[in-house]
Amino acid sequence: MTANLSETLTLLLIEDDDGDAFLVEELLKEAEAPPRIFWAKSLQEAKAKLNPKIQCVLVDLSLPDADRLEALEEVLALAPHAAVLVLTGLRDAHMGVAAVQAGAQDYLIKGDTDARLLARAIRYAMERKRADLAQLRLVQAELTAKENARLESALLPDALLRTDAIEHVTRYLPGSGGTLAGDFFDTVQTPDGAVHVVVGDVCGHGPDEAALGVALRIAWRTLVLAGQTGDTLLRTLDALLRAERKAPEIFTTLCMATITADLSHAMMRVVGHPPPVLVREGVVEVVHDTPSGPPLGIFADAEWAVIDVPLGEEWSMMLYTDGLIEATVGERDELLGVDGLLDLVREHGGIDLDRLITHVGTLSDDLAVVLVRRRRA
């Protein structure tokens, strides 16, 4: 009777006995879709033939260069994504159970296997392997989600504000890849009444960049609370970045503002970062066309010019990372850009973060936004 192996696959048979190998090949020829079979007579020979295209491995537990579970362990290490079945001439159920416990999907006894049983064992082994890999991906996804949540909470803290005269709104969205990046923000009001705001972006994606963003954000808050501002603060962050980064090409852009206690004035430094958007008396504009200076981590002797920004009695200011202006919009999936961002703010009659984000399409990078608005008296 024809064996029911319905899926065409690529299989590696590791068997040093010519007769046993021939028998396996003959049995698999009876399958509905006979697999493509590669044959290796030793573990060393198998190492040269194992590649990502191999979906299933049949391995004898008695090989000339590996014995019993040693051979299995080597195969599992070399082919982590392949289903593995153990073939043994030893009528020892304990050895078969041990093989499954060690990571094999199933075991078969030589001489007790016919075409139907072999085809079914391979099919079931493939399904078990798929289930195992799916479970592994699920566990990894859960661990990643927990780690991202932990890092995200450190990257995106609660503002330290004592005044009710400021409306403070933040938003954070991960990029389309789902990998947490190094975007961070913070807001702190110091005892003198001044309000300090920062939005930063560590280049790159992944846990290392996110952890570096956490370190920079905490350092910024600590320095501000200790009374450090301006270039002294930036040089300290630059030194920290150079000490903590994993590679010399990693840099950080940021924008920080110090708003006076009477909320009528701001001193800003745009450190290689996209320009903030300011709305004053109905006029929508960027704070400054050119940055104050280069990103952190580029030049050891960098200096950053101060941007003096009169705010007046009624204003809104938005600091953001480049994930916002690099997002796509419209049917043609064009980049939003700074000009497009200004047009959206004008279209909405002011800065409304929820409406703004609704109009943004696919995010290629993380998006972090801080909106600071003076409340009407």
- pLDDT digits 0-9 by tens, 122-164: 888 888 888 887 777 777 767 766 666 666 666 678 899 999 9
Strands (E), 110-234: 166-173, 181-189, 195-205
- Residue 123's identity, in one-letter code, is R
Residue-wise DSSP of 189-214: E-TTS-EEEEEEEEEEESHHHHHHHH
Q: What angle do CA 271, 257, 225 make, to 5 degrees?
A: 105
Q: What is the dihedral of CA 73, 77, 80, 86, to 10 degrees?
A: -20
Specify whether the CB–CB gap between 31 and 117 falls below 8 A. no
- The residues, ordered by sequence, that sit 6+ positions from 19 with a Cβ below 8 Å of its Cβ are none
What pLDDT, on a 0 to 100 scale, did the predictor assign at position 27? 87
Would you call 187 helix, strand, or coil by DSSP?
Answer: strand
Which pTM was predicted?
A: 0.64
- The residues, ordered by sequence, that sit 6+ positions from 107 with a Cβ below 8 Å of its Cβ are 85, 86, 87, 88, 95, 96, 97, 99, 100
- pLDDT digits 0-9 by tens, 180-195: 678 999 999 999 999 9
Exposed (0-12), middle (13-18) or buried (19+): which is 229, by Cβ within 10 Å?
Answer: middle
Torsion sign over Cα 167, 258, 319, 368? negative
Specify whether the CB–CB gap between 2 and 32 falls below 8 A. yes
Pairwise CA distance, residues 180 & 211, whole Å = 10
DSSP H or E stretch at residue 140: helix 115-155
Please report, for the chain, how many H helices and E strands are present, in that order: 10, 19
Exposed (0-12), middle (13-18) or buried (19+): which is 213, by Cβ within 10 Å?
Answer: buried
Q: What domains are defined for the chain?
A: 10-136 (3.40.50.2300), 156-374 (3.60.40.10)
What pLDDT, on a 0 to 100 scale, did the predictor assign at position 240? 96
Nearest to 353, CA basis, from 363, 368, 332, 335: 368
Q: Which residue has the tokens 């030893």?
A: 90
Copy the structure tokens of residue 356: 């703004």
Copy the structure tokens of residue 159: 């503002």
What pLDDT, on a 0 to 100 scale, did the predictor assign at position 148? 61
Torsion sign over Cα 60, 64, 69, 73? negative
- The residues, ordered by sequence, that sit 6+ positions from 376 with a Cβ below 8 Å of its Cβ are 314
Q: Are strands 66-67 and 62-63 parallel, antiparallel or unpaired?
A: antiparallel
- The residues, ordered by sequence, that sit 6+ positions from 42 with a Cβ below 8 Å of its Cβ are 14, 16, 63, 64, 65
Within 10 angstroms of residue 357's Cβ, the number of other Cβ atoms is 15
pLDDT < 50 stretches in the chain: 1-4
